[in-house]
Amino acid sequence: QVQLVESGGGLVQAGGSLRLSCVASGRTFSRYTMGWFRQAPGKERQFVASISRAGSATYYADSVKGRFTISRDNAKNTVYLQMNSVKPEDTAVYSCARKGLTTAAEYDVWGQGTQVNVSS
pLDDT score of 47 = 97
Sorting pLDDT into bands at 50, 70 and 90, what band is 1?
confident
- Asked if 45 and 92 touch (Cβ cutoff 8 Å), the reply is no
How far apart are the C-alpha atoms of 34 and 107, rounded to whole Å? 8
- Per-residue confidence band for 120, with pLDDT thresholds at 50, 70 and 90: very high
> pLDDT, tens digit, for every residue of 50-103?
999 999 999 999 999 999 999 999 999 999 999 999 999 999 999 999 998 888
